């Protein structure tokens, strides 16, 4: 059987979940690129490269980091904003678009100001986003949303997951702490120097 | 009260509705009530019910009168109300049609275990089809078991969301769009069944008088918190199915609540709940008096 790779879409109206296609989650210290296990440092460099070569690099912070609900969320918010500032300094087209909650909002969302896991493709299409990162999005919503993005858009997805990682993203980290987010900020700075 | 905040780094990128929610919502306001409807951000600005549907104002009153909104979880069921829940800034769970009181039972028990030092209220809000027909087993069993949460039924006397089928709460003789033979049986006396099944506070009314609705909802939630199950039945006529215009909902309610009418105000309170509510009332009066004295 050909090994399933988690690649940039648009793949299909209903792409399979990567887990059903045999992709397994990384262990601590590892990351996944296209469904393959790599060392986390390799993932950091790849994420930095993808972000820096994107036309519209975008960070989608979810409820777990948007809302001030514990000390960790405050620290993560600072690191995420620093990452966005790095990207924006490199590319003024960079975007920071919140996912405030998961309501299936009707009649519509404004794709310029927010993203919603039930219709993530609208925000991605509207803003022509080609590389994005999910951070602070609860797992079940992230998986749903990442699959929709893979199915219907040509956007490269990165997940900075605080739990075991998201096999439905093209690149996933796991156990995201504030320090790990800062590691990615540093990786972006390092890769910038080589450009 | 410590209100939820947005992290500073992200305040300016949040959609304005969330900024306003954080700054202006009535969470934590002790005397919140129906008078906040129309000015408070979180009390449903938009809804997906038919224009003029009395469920929309009933829903707003319920939300405005929750004594502890930041620590309340509502459990809904399929029907017209389930389309409103996505617009609501209160934790809520959509349960499978009819299962709402079973889901609420588990939820209430889990919250009590998980947050032993906090008051967490659970409030079911469902249509009459969900409460009295398909979910009747779950409704009654939760009352028999003395589960400590409030059940609110929006009684529009039929299955509105699916086009007007007959429900247990439909009045005898009524001909629905999908019940052409006419209802052959009496309206199920659910308030009496609730009383006899162990509910400690039961009230039935229309939503034409917001003060009355407010008092009933507060009583029901406080009694459920301290003593046991409570039940409220609100007449929210389906104007679409009974052939009324969107301005006629209020009059329909007024016409149905007079002496001897289907929705004449009813309240049943257990002895235990009576003692408790008297205490609550006395406390509230004392507080008010002290406040007035302090101001003078
Ligand atoms: C398990 C299940 N059975 C049936 C349905 C179909 N269904 C959807 S809404 C509805 C009627 C709801 O009636 P009611 O509870 O009275 O609420 P209303 O719409 O009148 O407010 C039904 C039968 C469903 N969604 N799920
Ligand atoms: S169908 Fe009836 S109950 Fe449902 S929203 Fe319309 S008027 Fe209200």
The Cα of B7 is separated from the nearest Cα of chain A by a number of Å equal to: 5
Ligand 1 pocket residues where CB is under 6 Å? B 78-81, 96-97, 126-130, 154, 156, 159-162, 167
CA pair distance B75, B123, nearest whole angstrom: 6
CA pair distance B84, B60, nearest whole angstrom: 10
CB contact under 8 A, A98 and B15: yes
Residues of B in contact with A73 (CB under 8 A): 7
Say yes or no: A106 contacts chain B, CB-CB below 8 A. Answer: yes
Residues of B in contact with A80 (CB under 8 A): 9
Does residue B53's CB lie within 6 angstroms of at least one atom of ligand 2?
Answer: yes
Does residue B128's CB lie within 6 angstroms of at least one atom of ligand 2?
Answer: no
Q: Which atom of ligand 1 is nearest to the CA of B133?
A: 15
Say yes or no: A146 contacts chain B, CB-CB below 8 A. Answer: no
Chain B residue whose CA is closest to A103: B86
Q: What is the ipTM of this complex?
A: 0.94
pLDDT tens string B235-261: 999 999 999 999 999 999 999 999 999
Q: Which atom of ligand 2 is nearest to the CA of B156?
A: 3
Residues of B in contact with A69 (CB under 8 A): 4
pLDDT along chain B (296 residues), means of 10: 85 92 86 89 82 95 94 96 88 95 98 96 98 98 98 98 96 94 97 98 98 98 98 97 95 97 98 98 93 88
Can you give the pLDDT at residue B3? 72
Can you give the pLDDT at residue A107? 67
pLDDT tens string B55-113: 999 999 999 999 999 899 999 999 999 989 988 889 999 999 999 999 999 999 999 99
pLDDT along chain A (195 residues), means of 10: 92 91 97 98 98 98 96 98 98 97 80 93 97 97 95 97 97 98 98 95
Chain B residue whose CA is closest to A61: B10
């Amino acid at each position: 059987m050909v090994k399933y790779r988690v690649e940039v879409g648009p793949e299909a109206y209903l792409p399979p979940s990567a887990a059903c296609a045999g992709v397994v989650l990384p262990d601590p210290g590892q990351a996944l690129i296209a469904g393959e296990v790599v060392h986390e440092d390799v993932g950091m460099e790849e994420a930095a490269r993808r972000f820096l070569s994107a036309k519209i690099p975008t960070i989608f912070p979810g409820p777990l980091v948007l809302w001030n609900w514990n000390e960790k969320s405050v620290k993560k918010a600072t690191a995420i904003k620093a990452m966005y500032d790095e990207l924006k300094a490199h590319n003024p087209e960079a975007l920071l678009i919140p996912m405030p909650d998961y309501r299936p909002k009707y009649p519509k969302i404004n794709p310029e100001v927010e993203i919603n896991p039930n219709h993530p493709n609208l925000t991605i299409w509207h803003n022509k986003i080609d590389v994005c990162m999910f951070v602070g999005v609860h797992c079940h919503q992230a998986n749903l949303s990442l699959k929709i993005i893979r199915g219907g858009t040509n956007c490269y997805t990165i997940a900075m997951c605080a739990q075991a990682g998201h096999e439905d993203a093209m690149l996933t980290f796991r156990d995201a702490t504030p320090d790990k987010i800062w590691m990615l900020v540093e990786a972006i700075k390092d890769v910038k120097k080589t450009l | 009260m410590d209100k939820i905040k947005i992290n500073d780094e992200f305040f300016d990128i949040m959609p304005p509705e969330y900024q306003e929610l954080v700054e202006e919502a009535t969470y934590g306001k002790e005397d919140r009530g129906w008078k906040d409807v129309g000015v408070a951000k979180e009390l449903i600005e938009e809804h997906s019910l038919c224009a003029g549907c009395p469920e929309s104002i009933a829903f707003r009153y319920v939300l405005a009168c929750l004594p502890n909104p930041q620590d309340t979880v509502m459990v809904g069921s399929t029907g017209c109300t389930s389309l409103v829940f996505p617009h609501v800034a209160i934790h809520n769970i959509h349960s499978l049609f009819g299962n709402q009181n079973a889901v609420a039972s588990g939820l209430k028990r889990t919250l009590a275990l998980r947050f032993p030092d906090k008051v967490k209220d659970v409030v079911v809000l469902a249509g009459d089809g969900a409460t009295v027909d398909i979910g009747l087993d779950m409704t009654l069993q939760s009352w028999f078991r003395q589960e400590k949460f409030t059940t609110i039924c929006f009684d529009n006397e039929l299955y509105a969301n699916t086009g007007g089928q007959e429900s247990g709460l439909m009045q005898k003789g009524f001909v629905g769009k999908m019940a052409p033979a006419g209802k052959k049986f009496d309206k199920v006396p659910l308030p009496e069944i609730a009383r006899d099944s162990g509910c400690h506070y039961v009230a039935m009314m229309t939503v034409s008088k917001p003060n009355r609705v407010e008092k009933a909802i507060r009583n029901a939630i406080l009694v459920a918190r301290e003593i046991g199950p409570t039940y409220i039945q609100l007449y929210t006529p389906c104007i679409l199915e009974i052939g009324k215009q969107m301005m006629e909902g209020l009059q329909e309610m007024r016409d149905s609540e007079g002496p001897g009418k289907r929705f004449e105000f009813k309240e049943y309170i257990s002895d235990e709940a009576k003692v408790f509510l008297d205490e609550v009332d006395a406390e509230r009066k004392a507080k008010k008096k002290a406040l007035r004295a302090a101001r003078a």
